[in-house]
Amino acid sequence: MINELNDINIATVHNPAEIAAHTTLSAASKASILIEALPYIQKFAGKTMVIKYGGNAMISEELKNKVMQDIALMKCIGIRPVLVHGGGPDITDFLEKIGKTSTFVSGLRVTDAETVTIAQMVLGGKINAEIVSRLNSLGIPAIGLTGKDANLLKAHKKLAEIHEANGQTNHVDIGFVGEVTAVNTQLINDLLDNGYVPVISPIGAGKGETTYNINADYVAAEVAGALGAEKLLMLTNTKGIYTSLDDPKSFLSSIPQAEATIMIENGTIQGGMIPKVEAVLHALQCGTKRVSIIDGREPHALLLELFTNKGIGTEII
Amino acid sequence: MINELNDINIATVHNPAEIAAHTTLSAASKASILIEALPYIQKFAGKTMVIKYGGNAMISEELKNKVMQDIALMKCIGIRPVLVHGGGPDITDFLEKIGKTSTFVSGLRVTDAETVTIAQMVLGGKINAEIVSRLNSLGIPAIGLTGKDANLLKAHKKLAEIHEANGQTNHVDIGFVGEVTAVNTQLINDLLDNGYVPVISPIGAGKGETTYNINADYVAAEVAGALGAEKLLMLTNTKGIYTSLDDPKSFLSSIPQAEATIMIENGTIQGGMIPKVEAVLHALQCGTKRVSIIDGREPHALLLELFTNKGIGTEII
Amino acid sequence: MINELNDINIATVHNPAEIAAHTTLSAASKASILIEALPYIQKFAGKTMVIKYGGNAMISEELKNKVMQDIALMKCIGIRPVLVHGGGPDITDFLEKIGKTSTFVSGLRVTDAETVTIAQMVLGGKINAEIVSRLNSLGIPAIGLTGKDANLLKAHKKLAEIHEANGQTNHVDIGFVGEVTAVNTQLINDLLDNGYVPVISPIGAGKGETTYNINADYVAAEVAGALGAEKLLMLTNTKGIYTSLDDPKSFLSSIPQAEATIMIENGTIQGGMIPKVEAVLHALQCGTKRVSIIDGREPHALLLELFTNKGIGTEII
Amino acid sequence: MINELNDINIATVHNPAEIAAHTTLSAASKASILIEALPYIQKFAGKTMVIKYGGNAMISEELKNKVMQDIALMKCIGIRPVLVHGGGPDITDFLEKIGKTSTFVSGLRVTDAETVTIAQMVLGGKINAEIVSRLNSLGIPAIGLTGKDANLLKAHKKLAEIHEANGQTNHVDIGFVGEVTAVNTQLINDLLDNGYVPVISPIGAGKGETTYNINADYVAAEVAGALGAEKLLMLTNTKGIYTSLDDPKSFLSSIPQAEATIMIENGTIQGGMIPKVEAVLHALQCGTKRVSIIDGREPHALLLELFTNKGIGTEII
Amino acid sequence: MINELNDINIATVHNPAEIAAHTTLSAASKASILIEALPYIQKFAGKTMVIKYGGNAMISEELKNKVMQDIALMKCIGIRPVLVHGGGPDITDFLEKIGKTSTFVSGLRVTDAETVTIAQMVLGGKINAEIVSRLNSLGIPAIGLTGKDANLLKAHKKLAEIHEANGQTNHVDIGFVGEVTAVNTQLINDLLDNGYVPVISPIGAGKGETTYNINADYVAAEVAGALGAEKLLMLTNTKGIYTSLDDPKSFLSSIPQAEATIMIENGTIQGGMIPKVEAVLHALQCGTKRVSIIDGREPHALLLELFTNKGIGTEII
Amino acid sequence: MINELNDINIATVHNPAEIAAHTTLSAASKASILIEALPYIQKFAGKTMVIKYGGNAMISEELKNKVMQDIALMKCIGIRPVLVHGGGPDITDFLEKIGKTSTFVSGLRVTDAETVTIAQMVLGGKINAEIVSRLNSLGIPAIGLTGKDANLLKAHKKLAEIHEANGQTNHVDIGFVGEVTAVNTQLINDLLDNGYVPVISPIGAGKGETTYNINADYVAAEVAGALGAEKLLMLTNTKGIYTSLDDPKSFLSSIPQAEATIMIENGTIQGGMIPKVEAVLHALQCGTKRVSIIDGREPHALLLELFTNKGIGTEII
């Protein structure tokens, strides 16, 4: 039999480079790779997994496609995937386009009413739509959501913390920056039960019609926790956690929750990794079963983490 | 008993002016008005109705609130409302903000890639979110959708028609302007069945990740037709159809489909009303049972059309 | 649009007097009254409410119609209404017709086998049928039940209490007068789930084929309690509870359960109101959430209590 | 094992006479009789059967009990029984009690407003309640219905036909005597699906609150037809149909529909049997699959007709 | 009516001897026997019962048919029957056919790999198929299962116990003889819910593809316990339990669990009855509600135990 | 993350040879092979496929395991697999064991009562159990069935055809050899809907308790046809169909149904392939959508046919 696939856009599935890479494999090798995935397929069937999909896995068309293929495969074999995406750089770009410069306090963007509207438009009206569109092209029915849809993410204002030289901590109002107070898991489960993949923008619904921009890592953590997800998979721009950043051999494929806390306190985990690990710890406290930090720059990182014996990232349990 | 309503923001429901307006009514009058609505509530329960909500009913905060209250009431008494909104003026405003001037061919905006992205962001990321937010505040769980969500609105390119002086008609490519080729009614019905109100932006999904901007009246017509809706309610900036525009007494509260066609041909229906009536006729051909053209500037226009004996608009059957 | 309502007997809905009373209202006033009801509609949707409908709200055709309209409206907007009706005066009339005089002991009718059969025929075969018939005319599918249907109300004999001059209390057998020992809530919920309105006559099923006549207030209290009803609405011939019967200003719109007990003990609540309030307290003890005593002589008393901000009766919590 | 049956009133099941009659049977005989019923139990499982239960099977307590036991057994082994009962003699008795004499035109009672109310009270408030009560005592949840419940039997006036000496037929208005125009099968099926046995009084719902008294044989025929019942079982005071009334050997255990028509025309079927056979023919025309005329005076007539190889009545196919 | 039964093989239901035996019974006697069964039918509807069907009720074609008729009747009136069968003698016969002699240790067959395969073939491929076939012929859809189907009976090795003269107990490996470690009740309930009768061979699934032969009494006990069955009915070759084996009058129709234990210890229960009673006690400990030991040689033993007032066996509670 | 798989017997999934074969593959290659399968997974989800699993794919433990792994994978990704197995050689072996020699007429085994019992025991009690056991070990709940279970395969006698030298065809009774007359698809679909994999032995149920042995290819064809299966996959001992048997290059990956008929008539298809192709044509006539003839000796033949672009067998459409 020569298989025909009329209704799916095969071009988006296989680019020539990819095909060239593996056509030399024997039929037996192909089959045995499929069979290697079998026990994982069985193990994960029916489980909810939240994927945090951020800037680093969005850097090229090819990488975007591979992430979407991975999610499509997860969905097809019975996993219930939920996407949370970020998009800080695109917001900055768009603000510049309308001649608006952002200032930051303790790493958080000062967000006036116009800025939060732009954030909502970029996240919910552009990046989200693009992800939904790519999944649809692969035959996966995806639904874009912001936190406003059926109050998916109720939120209130989050103050920035400024650590003064004298050791005091001041809290500063930086506008429409929020944190999640409640997640409408009913909505997510209704969509999953009906076969859709929810794609969530990190926009929160405040009182009345107030809009909040929220850190996407934390949204993913809250969503995973509220759903009691089997896994939170965070696509980042590092391979995972190292005991010594200079030494690739110090990579940790698994650490317990308690140890991660210690590594933050003693400075082993540093810089931009700190808020990520804090979000991870938060997700575990909220009810997520396991969290993996994966290198989003690696092609098919999700598949390799889930369906091969060795995995590729750091799992925190 | 003094009724308490802790969990609903009563302030958004009654502004002081409104309350003042009717507190002088006797209890008996209030009760008899509720009872007047009873047979209509029974008649419409379980029926799907599509509301086209355009620029004219969006002109003031008060008017927006009243439209949302009407939809909330429709939902609460068992109607299945589906909203389609427009937003041309907001798109124009935003394009200006980034220094981009629109040109029009036969009334249609020439739409390059950047323009269609802006249209998608304004419609799906701003106007839609605002509507969803208002409905949520009234305790109605609404979900914002664009045509990309689960391929809700599949579309292809629509060419502009230029009627030349010599009687010929030329077709001109004006970019990412589309028309609907298929509606995913499964998605709408899944959401309605789960108790959500779908709010739809007129953005179409083309091949791959192509985006199209589509006329909202036509989207409403296609959606109503595909759903076999009981009613399509079009909120416009006129009271309805007149045989003579200068004579308010020539208002028609009901006309048959065939007559509407004649009135376009013989010029009784003119100007901006023509495309609206054409959309209406299209909706009826596609399977909508009845269409009403209502004055969106009238407060509570939807309620008055649906729940009073006289109605307020023109119905085309 | 001019609304047509072919299948519902509009004449029964609006009598001319009523229509005259409110046609002078502006459309805006009408709409705002509908909107005033919105938050209550949302609050009460899906809740079970038991209505005790007794002699005082049955005094005129007009009043009967208004009560039925209220129940129809409650049903249409998603409330689950259950009616319990009384009918002592009609039983007395019918007994007289067959030349039978009733004697009473401590306010309870001495009920021999023939009398209880007549009671069953009048309640279950006449009054009940009339209520069912009126609801059906309004398009509401009602089902008449006595306590015998699927053993809806299991009952045993209730003895009359005679308080002797010497302070002793004697218990006297007065025949087939009963009290409820169990309520078949499964039957009521089956009917409500299938969309029917149960209309219950206060006839109890004893052992074998024994029939008992039971006080309707107590039946309503037991049914409301067994269902864990959101509300028991008792239509009576007073406006509610007063601290001083002579002073209309002493009307109480809400009193706590404990206080009602005290008011009986200290004599503030007197006469025919005592057994009603005792039934109310019993309903609260059995699991009803709230009970209202309403003036059944007031047109649309149910609607005004439920859907206006001020309500009209006394609520005991 | 000695079987204990605490929750069912065994006394109502077996009277001593009955027990004496068969205790001499060997265990083997008992078992083989149960097994004889097996193929009929399989054949009839899930089938709807309408039983017309009239005056002749109501003549003694013992006979009433046996009919109810039969229906209980039918229900327990998976048949869906629906009862329609009559009660003319009881109505006459009650009218006499209140000093009212009935006149008849062509065999139909002239029925004024008071008479139809009495009919409704006797049928719906007394006879129906007694049947329901007996079934409940056997552990079968029965629900009493009149044609008014959810408009079960819509009806209009039926005129009496007077065949004049000159060969003409006059139609005379004799008051509230009706005929069925529509049956609400949804209600019957809802109750059957929920496990209840519907017991129907032959009272029809006219326009508004008008009540009609209807011939019970015809009600049974209409109900069986509307339900597409597997069988209509008419309990009468004859063994069935004979070719010659004087000759017991001329009994027919089965006749085709066409032949029954001929036997009426040629006078073989006479007197009170004519309207019964006409009702039977009507039931077959309306969609009933088979009708049996059975001798209601025979103990356990229903069981013997259904579960023994020979049956006992006349079946019209 | 003369009943016709085209689709069921009536010949298998009634043999001539049987029919002769009871045709002399009057119709009234037949009916009253059916009615005697009514309260038991009501009591047992929807209950799960496990029948252990062993060698003694398999001795003649007639007896086999009667057992199957009993199970067919149980199924038809709403009981959920589950069969467990044995078959030791047939295994022995077949082993002889291939020239293999069995040795026994403490009453258990030494079972090598070839023997256990033969056991599986005889039980699952011959006896089971015959039972299924007979039930199908009676119109009852039966499904044959071994413990391997969806791991119905997980098992591990059981060692034989040898009681040495010196009072010590040695444990000896006798091959593929097993005991149940887990029962897949989901499978049994899935089949019962879909209307099938499961027929289970006492073959257990060990690790990988290991097969174990298991004592059928114990399998029945484990299955009944795991299902929380209403009854376990054990068809044996004795009438039940006696206090004195020589005295038929010492038959016990019911004994409490504790007493049975004592009767084993003090030697009142002896020989082959001991393992049966031990299995019974095990069933009760595992969650079975009641167990009856019945004489499988008695025709229609199951019916007589279940549907007559006196029953025929010994029940242990 | 290092994946742990405690509850599945990983040893049965990967033998060392296999693992060695592909550990040298890069992660990227592995991922891209999984992705290559994606469109086929989507295309086949929810489709029913019948696999004929015969002697040639049963020749070694390793090959058996691979077939079972393939079926496990099919099941896990949403296909509804149904297995039909054969087993002629094992039947012959067993008959020899009991000293019975088979004679054949026109290729069909003369089958007396003892032979058909042995066939049933070998197929249903040994081969079937082994397959079920292997699938269970892979975590796939399989249920073994013969045609007797709930009358899965109703059958009647099939006569052998002898083509005489004189051109005449004689029909000879060769005993309990049958052909399928009806398939109980309800049973298969009930099991598939509940998540089980049915494994079917080619034993048919005749009248009463008669047993028939049936050709497994034809059983697979009938089952696939009755189910309207998406595919019938026949594992054989050839690579598929060739125009010239001597020339490997003449292999056909796809032929239309009509052409296959011609190739039988003109002798291109010969020998043992003829009955297989006839069974295939029969399956297509009965309603199977597509049939593939695949080389069962090829490891993972099923996966390669289904999930790679080229496939490996001959498809007849």
Average pLDDT for D199-204: 98
pLDDT given at position B308: 75
Report how far Cα C34 is from the mean position of its chain's Cα atoms.
26
pLDDT given at position A20: 41
Strand pairing partners for C83?
C51, C199
Q: Provide, as residue numbers in chain F, all residues whose Cβ is less than 8 Å from the Cβ of E123.
A: 125
Strand pairing partners for E304?
none
Q: Which residue of B has its CA nearest to A130?
A: B209
Is C19 domain-assigned?
no
* F211 near E CB under 8 A: yes
Q: Please state whether beta strands B197-200 and B142-145 pair in parallel, antiparallel, or not at all (unpaired).
A: parallel
pLDDT given at position E1: 53
pLDDT given at position C5: 42
- Percentage of residues in chain C having pLDDT higher than 70: 91
pLDDT given at position D158: 95
| CA A286/CA A292 separation, integer angstroms | 15
Which residue's entry shows tokens 């005033």? Answer: C36
Is E17 domain-assigned?
no
pLDDT given at position A317: 84
Q: E22, D43: Cβ pair inside 8 Å? A: no
Is D23 domain-assigned?
no
Q: Which residue of E has its CA nearest to D29?
A: E22
* C163 near B CB under 8 A: no
Q: Provide, as residue numbers in chain C, all residues whose Cβ is less than 8 Å from the Cβ of B291.
A: none
Is D38 domain-assigned?
no
Residues 119-138 of B with CB under 8 A from A: 120-126, 129-130, 132-134, 136-137
* F97 near E CB under 8 A: yes
Out of B117, B123, B149, name the one closest to residue A144 (CB): B149
| CA B278/CA B258 separation, integer angstroms | 12
Does residue E211 contact residue E153 with C-beta atoms inside 8 Å?
no
Does residue A118 contact residue A214 with C-beta atoms inside 8 Å?
no
Is A24 domain-assigned?
no
pLDDT given at position F244: 77
* Strand locations in chain F (E): 48-53, 80-85, 104-105, 108-109, 142-146, 153-157, 160-163, 169-172, 178-183, 197-201, 203-205, 211-213, 231-236, 241-242, 251-252, 254-255, 290-295, 314-316
Domain count, chain F: 1
Residues 293-312 of A with CB under 8 A from B: none
* D208 near C CB under 8 A: yes
Tokens of C47: 């809740």
* E37 near D CB under 8 A: yes
DSSP state at residue F226: H
The H-assigned helical ranges of C16-112 are 16-22, 27-44, 61-76, 88-97
- Percentage of residues in chain A having pLDDT higher than 70: 91
Tokens of D211: 């009540």
pLDDT greater than 50 at residue A22: no
Q: B125, A125: Cβ pair inside 8 Å? A: yes
**pLDDT-wise least confident of C26-30, D6-10, F27-31:** D6-10
Residues 6+ positions from E180 with CB-CB distance below 8 Å: E147, E153, E154, E155, E204, E214, E218, E219, E222
Average pLDDT for D48-58: 87
Out of B120, B137, B143, name the one closest to residue A209 (CB): B137
| Mutation target among C136, C137, C138, C184 for the D interface, most CBs of D within 10 A | C136
Tally of residues, chain E: 317
Strand pairing partners for D169?
D163
**Amino acid identity for residue D166 in this structure:** N
Is F37 domain-assigned?
no
| pLDDT interval class at E187 (50, 70, 90) | very high
CATH number at residue C215: 3.40.1160.10
pLDDT greater than 70 at residue F241: yes
Tokens of D276: 């019964």
Average pLDDT, chain A: 87
Strand arrangement of the beta sheet that strand F211-213 belongs to = F178-183, F153-157, F203-205, F211-213
Is A27 domain-assigned?
no
pLDDT given at position C138: 94
Is B225 domain-assigned?
yes
pLDDT given at position D84: 98
Out of E117, E129, E149, name the one closest to residue F148 (CB): E129
Average pLDDT for B242-262: 84
pLDDT given at position A3: 52
pLDDT greater than 90 at residue B142: yes
Q: How many CB atoms lie within 10 A of CB A104?
A: 10
Average pLDDT for D297-303: 90
Average pLDDT, chain F: 87
Q: Which residue has the higher pLDDT, A154 or E268?
A: A154
Taking one residue from B and the other from C, the number of pairs with CB-CB distance under 8 angstroms is: 191
Q: In a 3-state reduction of DSSP, which class is residue B49?
A: strand
| CA F301/CA F310 separation, integer angstroms | 12
Which residue's entry shows tokens 């030991």? Answer: E293
Average pLDDT for A33-56: 89
Does residue D205 contact residue D211 with C-beta atoms inside 8 Å?
yes
Residues 238-257 of B with CB under 8 A from A: none
Q: What is the per-residue pLDDT across C142-199, written as a single tens digit (0 to 9) for each?
A: 999 999 999 999 999 999 988 888 888 899 999 999 999 999 999 999 999 999 999 9
Average pLDDT for A31-47: 88
Average pLDDT for A258-268: 88
Q: Which residue has the higher pLDDT, D58 or A50?
A: A50
The H-assigned helical ranges of chain E are 10-13, 16-22, 27-44, 61-76, 88-97, 113-122, 128-137, 185-193, 216-227, 257-265, 273-286, 301-307
pLDDT given at position A226: 97
CA distance B241 to chain A (A): 36
Q: What is the per-residue pLDDT across F295-316, written as a single tens digit (0 to 9) for each?
A: 988 889 999 889 877 778 899 9
- What is the span of the domain harbouring residue F87? 47-316
pLDDT greater than 50 at residue F16: no
pLDDT given at position B8: 36
Tokens of B103: 């040109």
pLDDT given at position E202: 97
Give the highest mean pLDDT range of A30-44, D156-170, E185-199: E185-199
